[in-house]
């Protein structure tokens, strides 16, 4: 009659520890990748929200503008606001105060009585009912 205590052998324990170590390594890499993706998504969301706000303000300016014009320094005037796009930053100033700064590369220009915005492969044209007879 053979007496066995019902325990695990040393070899079985080593194999189990090895498998658990590999699983722990894979899980830590997965967690790191997940947190990196979450950070990138948050950053992209903040950028999109800032861009949406800038476009909303530009639409409001264009909608209520009595005049739209291009300035010699590369900025554009939309009603009472001045918009500049330089060094991957868009700024809006009105009455000498900067009211918006967005770190998103977009191109702004004036064509006829429209403000043309180019960003990420999209072209957006804005105009308003107050504009009569083209850009001034």
Quote the pTM value: 0.65
Q: Where are the domains of the chain?
A: 10-126
Walk along the chain (136 residues) and give the pLDDT tens digit of each residue: 455 677 889 999 999 999 999 999 999 999 999 999 999 999 888 888 888 888 888 888 888 888 888 888 888 888 888 988 887 788 888 887 877 888 777 888 888 778 888 877 788 888 776 554 444 4
How far, in Å, CA of 34 to CA of 107, rounded? 34
* 59 CB-contact burial (10 Å; exposed 0-12 / middle 13-18 / buried 19+): middle
Kindly give, in sequence order, each residue whose CB lies less than 8 Å from that of residue 101, ignoring residues fewer than 6 positions away: 89, 90, 91, 92
């Amino acid at each position: 009659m053979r007496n066995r205590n019902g325990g695990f052998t040393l070899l079985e324990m080593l194999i189990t520890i090895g498998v658990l170590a590999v699983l722990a390594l894979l899980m830590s890499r997965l967690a790191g990748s997940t947190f990196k993706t979450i950070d990138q998504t948050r950053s992209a969301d903040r950028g999109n929200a800032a861009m949406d706000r800038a476009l909303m303000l530009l639409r409001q300016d264009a909608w209520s503008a009595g005049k739209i014009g291009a300035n010699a320094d590369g900025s554009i005037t939309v009603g009472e606001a001045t918009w500049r796009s330089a060094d991957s930053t868009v700024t809006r100033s009105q009455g000498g105060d900067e009211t918006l700064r967005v770190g998103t590369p977009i191109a702004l220009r004036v064509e006829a009585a429209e403000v043309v915005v180019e960003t990420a492969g999209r072209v957006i044209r804005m105009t308003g009912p107050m504009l009569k007879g083209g850009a001034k």
